[in-house]
Amino acid sequence: MPKPYSSDLRQRAIALVEAGQSRSAVARLLGLGKAAVILWLKEFQATGKQAAQPMGGRRRFVLLAERDWLLARIAAAPSLTGKALRAELAARGTKVSYDAVWRFLHEQRLTFKKKPACRRAGPGLRDAQARTLEALPAPG
- What pLDDT, in 10s, does the model give residues 26-48? 999 999 999 999 999 999 999 98
Does pLDDT of 132 surpass 60? no
pLDDT in the model for residue 139: 72
pLDDT in the model for residue 117: 55
pLDDT in the model for residue 49: 87
Phi, psi dihedrals of residue 90, rounded to the nearest 5° = -65, -35
Taking each helix axis from N to C end, the angle separating 23-30 and 34-47, rounded to the nearest 10 degrees, works out to 120
Residue spans per domain, the chain: 7-47, 62-107
Mean pLDDT of 58-65: 78
Mean pLDDT, the chain, integer: 83
Instruction: Say whether pTM exceeds 0.75.
Output: no
Please tell me the distance from the alpha carbon of residue 34 to that of residue 92, in angstroms, as a whole number: 42
- What pLDDT, in 10s, does the model give residues 97-130? 888 898 888 888 887 665 555 555 655 556 556 5
Locate all alpha helices (DSSP H) within the chain, ordered by sequence.
Answer: 7-18, 23-30, 34-47, 67-76, 82-92, 98-107
Residue of 66, 119, 109, 61 lying closest to 88 (CA atoms): 66
